[in-house]
Amino acid sequence: MKVLVTGGASGLGAALVAACRARGDEVCAIDLDPAERSWAHDLGNTDPAAWAALADWLATQGPFDLVILSAGISATGRFETIPLAQHQNVTAVNLAGPIRLVHLLESGHLLRAGGRLICIASLSCFTGYPGAASYAASKDGLAGFARSLRRPMRKRGITVQLACPGPMDTPHATRYAPDGASTKGRLAPDRAAQAILNARSFTIIPGAGPKLAAVLGRLAPQTLTRLMGRVLFSKLK
């Protein structure tokens, strides 16, 4: 099986790459930090030449049986104090870039019939996320993108899935968490990766705790948003 993973150099992306390779898949990755069988590319880059070079590389590697859109960044703090350029970069990497990549793959016939496309969103899709508004908006947008592609791509034999992991023990989580935040309760990325790869449902929520949080988000969204505010926003400088 040929697999393409974005954000494959760290965190959940790296765990997905490792899990796929462990089962014998041929894996290619896109990340800022190039490694074996990977291409250095910033999904937030709008330079046509950079995207053309990526397209040429993908054409030599594909078509792919599984594409996982895992790359993502955040911006935490009071919304008005975060520079606008930083908010724009979050939406570019987390939403505009994945849309452009999928368009490139589809127009180039690089996603094989019978394959899977997995969009990695966030548990924030089930709640407000005070202190990380542009991140939540971009992940909600990616979720809407996945839902909108699901039926049309199914007609061509491609399965679209949406993964919404909660907090994980990754460098990304540490980078954007409040100073001194505990890693207790964060899901190990290798466990999340296995849950995502083994799932057959459209919506994938790895871990029992995040599943309960998603239910609470549906039944009592204001309560969960207040809880998220205490967990993150109130602790940010």
* Residue 26 DSSP code: E
Write phi, then psi, for 185 (nearest 5 degrees): 90, -10
For residue 77, what pLDDT is reported? 87
| Residue 208 CB neighbours (<10 A) | 9
Using DSSP's 3-state secondary structure scheme, residue 157 falls into coil
* Maximum CA extent, the chain: 49
**Alpha carbon distance 228, 130 (integer Å):** 7
**Alpha carbon distance 140, 163 (integer Å):** 12
Domain enclosing residue 165, as ranges = 2-235
For residue 205, what pLDDT is reported? 94
**Alpha carbon distance 74, 175 (integer Å):** 9
For residue 180, what pLDDT is reported? 61
CA nearest neighbour of 112 among 31, 224, 1? 1
Structure token digits, residue 145: 């993108």
For residue 179, what pLDDT is reported? 64
Per the CB < 8 A criterion, the answer to whether 11 and 171 are in contact is: yes
For residue 108, what pLDDT is reported? 94
For residue 214, what pLDDT is reported? 85
Per-residue pLDDT of the chain (237 residues; tens, 9 = 90+): 999 999 998 899 999 999 999 999 999 999 987 777 788 999 999 999 999 999 999 999 989 999 999 999 999 888 999 999 999 999 999 999 999 999 999 999 999 999 999 999 998 888 888 888 999 999 999 999 999 999 999 998 999 999 999 888 777 777 766 666 666 678 899 999 999 999 999 999 998 888 888 887 788 777 777 777 666 665 655
Structure token digits, residue 157: 């034999």
For residue 120, what pLDDT is reported? 97
For residue 226, what pLDDT is reported? 77
For residue 235, what pLDDT is reported? 61
Structure token digits, residue 174: 């540490």
User: pTM score, two decimals?
Assistant: 0.90
Cis-peptide, bond into residue 206, ω within 30° of zero: no
For residue 172, what pLDDT is reported? 73
- List the CATH number of the domain containing 89: 3.40.50.720
For residue 212, what pLDDT is reported? 86
State how many domains the chain has: 1
For residue 231, what pLDDT is reported? 66
Per the CB < 8 A criterion, the answer to whether 145 and 192 are in contact is: no
For residue 232, what pLDDT is reported? 64
